[in-house]
Structure 1
Amino acid sequence: MANQSSSYPILCASFNQDASYFVIGTSEGFKVFDSNTGRLCYERAIGAFIIVEMLFSSSLLAIVGAGEQPSLSPRRLCLFNTKTGAALRELNFLTSILAVRMNRERLVVVLQDKTYVYDLNSVKILDTIHTVPNLKGLCGFSPSLDGCFLALPASTTKGLVLLYNVMECLSHCEIDAHRGPLAAISLSSNGMYIATASEQGTIIRVYLVSDATKSYSFRRGTYPSTIFSLSFGPSVQLPDILLATSSSGSLHVFCLGFAINQRSRKSSSILGSIIPDSVTDALDPAHHHVLHSAVTAGVKSHAVIRKVDKLADASTSGAVYCKATISIINYNGHFQEYSFSLNHQNEPSWTLDHELNLLTVVSDDTFNS
C-alpha cells in the first residue's frame, strides 16, 4: 500500500501474509516490526521508499524507492535480504512500480497498464497481464498456494474486477461489483472471497471467488467516504469478520458469520421471501459495528485482523462469542491495536490495548528470520 503524498511521514505500510510482522517506508528508509509486540526488528536508513513488502516471516523484502536519488528509482524493484543487508536481485521497468505482492512461489509487480507475474525462486517472468489504466496500483492478492488469486480493476468508469489465477497463470472471471470506479479490493487469505468498495464508499460487497456470485452486501454508511483499507479475518473456510477503515476516521467491522444466521431467520419471514438477501443485508445494521474516531479523520490508515477467537461464555451456559485482535497503521506514524469482542447477544465492545509511535521506537537489532 504505497502513498505518493509527502504530507504523511509514512510513505507506505503493509503487513506480511499472516500479519505476524509489518513494514513501513519513510523518507529516511524502511523498518520491520513484530506485530505481536510492536518491537522494531530491523531498520535501514538509506533513503525514501514507497513500497516495502515482506515474505511471511522470512528475511526477504521487496522494496521500491521513491526516486529521490538515482539508486532508488521508482522503476526498480529490489529483492532485499535483511540477514545480509544486500540485494538478491533487481528488476527494472519502463514505468513506475505501483504495487508488489508475493507468496512462496509467485512475485506480482503492478504497473499503470501492465501487471507482471514471476516465478519467485527463479525470477523468471511467467505472464504479462494488460490492464486498464490503474493509476493507484489497486490490487487484491490471496497468498495461499491452493487458492492464489490476483484481483485488478477492469474498468476506469465502473467497479469491474478482473480475477486472475496466479498459480495457473490464467484469467478466472470478471465481476461487475459497483456502478462507480473501485477504491479498494481485498481477497481472503484462502482465496475464497473477495471484498470490494467503490469511490463512493457507502456499500461494501463480498463475492464468492469460485463462481463470482455475490454473497454479502454491507452498508458502511449513508455519506460518501474514501475506503482506505479492507481486510478479511484469518480463517480456513469462511472468514468470520471483514474490516474496513475510511477517511471518516471510523473502524468498521462486518460479521459475515452473523449475516448467515440473519439470512436463515429472514428466509422464514414473509419479507425475507420477497426481498433478496443482498438487499436486506445492506439495509440491516445488525451485523455492522462501528468504532467512531478510532483514527484521525482524513489520515490514511491500513488495518488488519490479526487473530479471531471463538470462546465459550461460562455465564451463558457455554454460548460462543467472538474476540478479534485488530492492528492499525496510521500514516501519521502511529500504530494501534484494538480488541474487539462480540457476545452471544450481538453486543460489541472495544478496548485499545496498545499504541506506539513508529517513528521514534528504537531497534534492538535482534531480527534473525
Structure 2
Amino acid sequence: MARRRSSCITSLAFNQDQGCFTCCLTSGLRVYNIQPLVEKCHYSKEELGEVSLCEMIYRTNWLLVVKARRPCSLMLLDDQQRAFKAEVVFKSPIRALRARRDKVAVVLTSSIQVLALPSFQRVALLRTPSTVRPLCALTTNPDSPQLLAAPAHRKGSLQLLDITRAVIGSQSSSIPAVVGIHQTDLVCVTLSPNGSMVATASERGTIIRILDTSSKLVIHELRRGSDYADVYCLRFCPSNELICCVSDKGTLHVWGGREGNTYPHLFAAPATAAAGAGPGRTPRSMCAFIDERIAAVICEDGTFHKFTFSLEGSWHRSNYEYFLQVGDDDEFLQ
C-alpha cells in the first residue's frame, strides 16, 4: 500500500480560533479537529463534487464552500443538516475566502466583496490589483474594530479598510488607508486577532514586517532568512504575543516573548515531510497556534505536524501524522 501524492488536496484552511481545519479535495471535503486530531465531518465526491475552497465559521455548523465546477458561486453549507442554506453568484471566479463570525471577504479577480452572514448581503467593496496573489485578512475578535487588509495597486503596498461602519447593500463608508511596506509584491498578509497589527511578507521572503494599524507605521522587522523564499502562511497567536511563518523552505519559524519593540526569534524547525528534498518539492503548508506553547503545521502532502516549544527557544515535534488516514481513507491509498 502506498500513499498517493498531494494532488487530491486542492486547499487547506484553519478556522478562526485555529482549533480546526478544512481539507478541500478532488473527492469532496473533510473537516478536522486539531487537539486531538480527529475527523469531524466527511463529504464524498457524490455529495459535493470537487471542492476548491472552504472556510469554517469558528466551531459552528456553517461551512462556506466553493465547488470547482461552480467557481463563481459561494455556498453556505449547514453541516448539521448536511444541506445548503444560501448561495450567491459573482461575475468572476472566487480566488480566496476569509471569514469571521458575521462576515466573509470574497476575493475576486480585481476586487474583494465583504458579505454579511448568513444573508450574503454585500456590506463593503474594495478594489484590488488583478496581477497579484489573491490575499486578504480580517480581524476575528468580535470586540475589536473590523479591519480588512489586502494588497494595494502600488507594488509592495497594503490597504486597510475599516468595515465596522459598512452600509448594508453598498460600498463601505470609509476610505482605505494605503501604506507602502515592501519593494516587491506582497505574497502573504495576516492581521492580529484584535486588529492592532498586520504582518506582511513580499516576494523576496527574507523579511516579515509588522505594521501598527493605528499609526500605520512599521513597528517590527523579523528576519526569516537570507535566501529568497515563497512565504505560504503567517499567523499571530490569539494573545498577539507570538507569530509563526512557513515557506517553501519547509521550515516553521516562531517569534515570540515580545521584549520591548522586538519579537525574538525562538526557533526554526523542519515542518514538512519533504523538507530538504530539494527545490520545487516542498508542499504548500499552513501554520497556526494551538495555544501559547504549541504550534501546528498542515501540508498539502497530507501531513500534520505539531511542535511544543518554550520561550527560551527549545522545541520538539510532539506529533506527526498523515491526517488523510484519520477516518475512512481507503480512497487515498493504492
Alignment-mate amino acid for residue 238 of structure 2: P
Residues 1:335 and 2:304 aligned together: yes
Q: How does 1:279-294 map to 2 (within 5 A)?
A: 287-294=264-271
Residue equivalent to 1:241: 242
Is 2:203–2:230's contact at 8 Å kept on the other side of the alignment?
yes
2:315 to 335, 344, 350: 350
Alignment-mate amino acid for residue 25 of structure 1: C
2:179 to 146, 160, 175: 175
1:139 to 136, 141, 145: 136
1:104 to 101, 104, 108: 101
Q: How does 1:93-172 map to 2 (within 5 A)?
A: 93-133=90-130, 135-145=132-142, 146-155=144-153, 158-169=155-166, 170-172=174-176
Cα deviation for residue 292 of structure 1 reads 3.9
Greater share of residues in helix: 1
* Distance across 2 between alignment mates of 1:104 and 1:293: 33
* Distance across 2 between alignment mates of 1:161 and 1:225: 20
Cα deviation for residue 291 of structure 1 reads 2.5
Task: Summarize the Cα distance change of 1:121–1:293 in structure 2 as closer, same or farther, 3 Å threshold.
Answer: closer
Is 2:257–2:311's contact at 8 Å kept on the other side of the alignment?
no
Residues 1:44 and 2:43 aligned together: yes
Cα deviation for residue 121 of structure 1 reads 3.2
Residue equivalent to 2:33: 34
Is 1:106–1:167's contact at 8 Å kept on the other side of the alignment?
no
Is 2:24–2:53's contact at 8 Å kept on the other side of the alignment?
yes
Which structure has the greater CA radius of gyration?
1
* Distance across 1 between alignment mates of 2:6 and 2:93: 20
Moved >4 Å (runs of 4+) = none
Q: How many matched pairs?
A: 307
Residues 1:62 and 2:64 aligned together: yes
* Distance across 1 between alignment mates of 2:102 and 2:258: 32
Residues 1:193 and 2:197 aligned together: yes
* Distance across 2 between alignment mates of 1:256 and 1:329: 24
Structure 2: runs of 5 or more not aligned: 167-173, 276-281, 329-334
Residue equivalent to 1:25: 24
TM-score by length of 2: 0.87
* Distance across 2 between alignment mates of 1:91 and 1:241: 36
Query: Is the partner of 2:140 in helix, strand or coil?
Result: coil
Is 1:53–1:62's contact at 8 Å kept on the other side of the alignment?
yes
Is 1:187–1:195's contact at 8 Å kept on the other side of the alignment?
yes
Task: Summarize the Cα distance change of 1:197–1:66 in structure 2 as closer, same or farther, 3 Å threshold.
Answer: same
Query: Is the partner of 2:175 in helix, strand or coil?
Result: strand
Query: Is the partner of 1:359 in helix, strand or coil?
Result: helix
2:209 to 198, 201, 205: 205
Cα deviation for residue 97 of structure 1 reads 0.2
Is 2:100–2:138's contact at 8 Å kept on the other side of the alignment?
no
State the identity %. Answer: 27
* Distance across 2 between alignment mates of 1:134 and 1:53: 24
Residue equivalent to 2:278: none
* Distance across 2 between alignment mates of 1:218 and 1:163: 21
* Distance across 2 between alignment mates of 1:220 and 1:54: 29
* Distance across 1 between alignment mates of 2:130 and 2:11: 21
TM-score by length of 1: 0.79
* Distance across 2 between alignment mates of 1:224 and 1:102: 30
